[in-house]
Structure 1
Amino acid sequence: MRRVCLTLPTHRACTGTIAAIGEEATYGAQKFGVEVHLLILDSSPTPVLAEHRKAVAALPASPGVTVHHLDEDEQRAFLREVAVRSAGDSASADRLLELMLPSRVSYGACTNRAFLIAQALGCTSVHRRDSDSRYQYADGEPIFPLHQELTYLGQRADDVQKSATRSKLPPGSGDRRVAVAGGSFVGEMSVDVAEIHDLDPDTYGELVGLSLPEGTPEIWRNHLIDASFRGAGNGTFDGDHAMLAPISPMRVDMCNVALDHEVYRRVPLPPATDTIGTDYFLFHLTHDARLPGLQHNRHIVNFHTEERRTDAGFLAYQVRFAKFLLAKAYLNTVYARTAEAGDTLLDAQGCVRASVVAGYVRDSVALDRTEVAHRLDVVQAAYRRLGGRFTTVADTLADRRSRLLDEARDDMADFALLMDHWEALADTSAAAGLGQVRAVNR
């Protein structure tokens, strides 16, 4: 029986999301006859964790659904065993464990943990959701992205091409399997960048423009800036629309994506801490390698937790956004090379050649820091120009200047290191097997 992993990484209160994702797991098992492993990776504070345990215990039993709710201690125990077996010595294992379970927020690391645990569970795909999202409804029924993900993911593109609404497959890619499926979100744009846009659209354009590749034509630049952070707008679900094509990272959101194991068992996500956006690496990679993807319209409803609206939450996100703009100096050099390489990134079996990608990442570490420092100057000046509580962000960036520049470079070096060990970690996780991951409903 096909086995899949539906995962929810979280570090904040989300009992409503736990109940909703439990319904999605049940839907997948009943509708598609698959075995769904619902994996909740919980880094929440103790009182919140306790509420989550109650919410998980309240999930109704459902045939074909196995629930795993792992706190950080349980995640660490699994990862340490895998790292020690894979690396062979404690020092290397400790370093790998630090990259997989850092003490600070890492959007890539939490998903990497799901990838490795999914390997142990014997799953063929990982389907990721977020704690601050909800499902759309039509005719009183929730619209689960899992429906489209399970329909297409892992299937030979030519075999499912006719069932898609549209197809833009590159020539010669029909024999390849659908590597990624994704939708976006509907509703309000990110609450933090929305405030920048409302205060000063020109400054917003300057900041978001730093995320784009150098040399982007002006007409495209303006379009991409306008489309960033907006998801799929404010539309409502009006029936399934599915396009089979390499997926643009601009068209999906990490709350609504799924990846085939042939992708994530070869290449991880960057483990950068306190940096948004770096967890989109695999979407850039699969797009540039011209792997078939499925873009659907079962969009998640965007929802911001109250923490995002506090002064502390505001500052934390703005620093993460600033770090993303610094990281893009390095990432864009990698993406330029993956775009140029195209489907030569793939081996004879149509799988990503991880060693080639790791080489691109390692080379990026040598980027002249002058460009990165200039980016930080631009970002800091933009925040100071916005005034109000954005002045605190500018002051914070100024105080942390040297550390921020070091971290932007070191994060790429860490990513290269993790890539060197990743396939061994994934294979070791798979060998560890299902018994190494505790289930709460068995």
Structure 2
Amino acid sequence: MRRICLTLPTNRACPETIAAIGGEAAYAAAHFDVEVHLLILDSSEPDTFAAHAEAVRALGAVPHVVTHHLGEPQQRDFLRQVIGRAEVAKPDLMLELMLPAGLSYGACTNRAFLIAAALGCESVHRRDSDSRYQTVDGAPVFPVHHELMSLGKRAADAARGPVETALDARHADKRVAMVGSSFVGELSVDIGEIRGLDPEVYYDVVSLWAPGHWSDEQKRELVDDSFRGAGSEPFTGDRATLTLVDPMRVDMCNISFHGVHERVPLPPATGTIGSDYFLIHLVHDAALPGVLHNRNIVNFYTAERRTDAGFIAYQTRFVKFFLSMLYFNHVYERMTAAGETLLDGQGHVRASVISALARESAALDRSENVHRLDRVDAAYRRLGGRYAQFADILATRRERLLDEARSDIEDFALLTEAWAPLMRASREAGPLLPAVAGRPT
């Protein structure tokens, strides 16, 4: 029986989501020959953590489901042990990159990757606390169904399952490295208000994540396709395609990885939207097989980002995303050009190539990012109101944000170089991790 890790990182109240993902774990264990380790990585405040613990207890004992609810102190203890065993350079910085004080979408998932290795899990399946499952006739539509049908199999074997095939035969012996889908509902980035206020400002802003040398037509196509997920079409029946998955067609709230996450981590940048999407691009550019299915998750917004403080924090994360793209667009273009040479003779990603590309990008002239900040400033002042107020705040942070964007890509290179010993040490650290609900049977 193989082990899988179904993980929910959270820093907000989500007992309903815990109950729902508990249902997905039970579904996986009942319908597939797997032992499911349900991993809840909880950075919530004490009262919320206690409510989550109660939600975990309410899941009860389920055959072949083991639940781990880990707060930040437990996660930190685990990481200290792993970093010590790995004997990596700059251990204090490594701990900070893995468990930073600020919000990091990549770091929380990286912790799940290491803990999954410690638990002996061969795949990681991620969900988000601000999303929920679609239902048909009252029954939830669980993405894990398609994930376990294909993930980790040879592409040739996966092709014999319930999937359409749009994959060149030369990839037949590679393992399916990723299975994912997208979302329906709200935009993945909370900028619908900008589009409503001024569609041209929306275009000006969203186009900033394109490479600077793209044509206006290319940028317009990118804007039209950005942050929309699968739109609003409800689930009516299963569709799945074995292919080289377009990164624009999947989302990190509805994703699973096999193998690739053990070779390369996610960028650990703090306060940066989109910092956790790197592996989706890597799987595609390295020509690793994936499956795209249509069990889309429903995305919704939490109330916190509607507050004044939440608005400022969210818009800052949005701007930092644009600044990160100076470096990631460079890396993505190099990865696209490299193609299958990103892989070694066994079909595994060569992490040394990725870290080298990241370090190369760190030397880029940052004038393109200065231009991005100028464009955001002009666009937000045109919108007025709280957007103009945010532009005033942004003007005081320009140099710091420019510096952070460069240091973030350097940190990613450093973490990538350390990832192999961290993974090895994690596999040796399994007994450190407690289960709070359920036991293998």
TM range (shorter): over 0.9
Q: 1:175 aligns with which of 173, 176, 186?
A: 173
**What are the residue-to-residue correspondences of 1:112-261 with 2, within 5 Å?**
112-190=110-188, 192-260=190-258
Distance in 2 (CA, whole Å) between partners of 1:302 and 1:22 is 18
Q: CA deviation at 1:93?
A: 1.5
Q: CA deviation at 1:315?
A: 1.4
CA RMSD of aligned residues (A): 1.3
8 Å CA contact 1:164, 1:244 repeated in 2: no
**TM-score after normalising by structure 2:** 0.97
Where structure 1 has 5 or more consecutive residues not aligned to the other structure, the ranges are none
SS of 1:192's partner is coil
Distance in 1 (CA, whole Å) between partners of 2:92 and 2:189 is 37
Distance in 1 (CA, whole Å) between partners of 2:215 and 2:284 is 20
Match in the other structure for 1:44: 44
Match in the other structure for 1:316: 313
Matched, 1:289 2:286: yes
Q: 1:108 aligns with which of 101, 106, 109?
A: 106
Matched, 1:395 2:403: no
Count, aligned residues: 438
Matched, 1:5 2:5: yes
Q: 1:436 aligns with which of 432, 436, 439?
A: 432
Runs ≥4 residues deviating over 6 A: none
Distance in 2 (CA, whole Å) between partners of 1:408 and 1:274 is 11
Q: 1:263 aligns with which of 260, 263, 266?
A: 260
Q: CA deviation at 1:355?
A: 0.3
Farther-moved stretch of structure 1 (303-312 vs 351-360): 303-312
Distance in 2 (CA, whole Å) between partners of 1:249 and 1:276 is 16
What do residues 86-119 of structure 1 show as CA deviations (whole Å, max 9, x unaligned)? 1267xx2211000000000000000000000000
What do residues 194-216 of structure 1 show as CA deviations (whole Å, max 9, x unaligned)? 11111111111111111123444
Q: CA deviation at 1:219?
A: 3.8
Q: 2:344 aligns with which of 332, 340, 347?
A: 347
Distance in 2 (CA, whole Å) between partners of 1:266 and 1:19 is 32
Distance in 2 (CA, whole Å) between partners of 1:218 and 1:293 is 31
**What are the residue-to-residue correspondences of 1:298-313 with 2, within 5 Å?**
298-313=295-310
Matched to 2:364, the amino acid is L
SS of 2:39's partner is strand
Where structure 2 has 5 or more consecutive residues not aligned to the other structure, the ranges are none
SS of 2:67's partner is strand
8 Å CA contact 1:40, 1:70 repeated in 2: yes
SS of 1:294's partner is strand
Distance in 2 (CA, whole Å) between partners of 1:21 and 1:189 is 22
**TM-score after normalising by structure 1:** 0.97
Matched to 2:53, the amino acid is R
Matched, 1:61 2:61: yes
Matched to 2:428, the amino acid is A
Match in the other structure for 2:71: 71
8 Å CA contact 1:208, 1:225 repeated in 2: yes
Match in the other structure for 1:272: 269
Q: Percent identity?
A: 60
Distance in 1 (CA, whole Å) between partners of 2:163 and 2:29 is 25
Distance in 2 (CA, whole Å) between partners of 1:220 and 1:327 is 19
8 Å CA contact 1:191, 1:304 repeated in 2: no
Q: CA deviation at 1:303?
A: 1.5
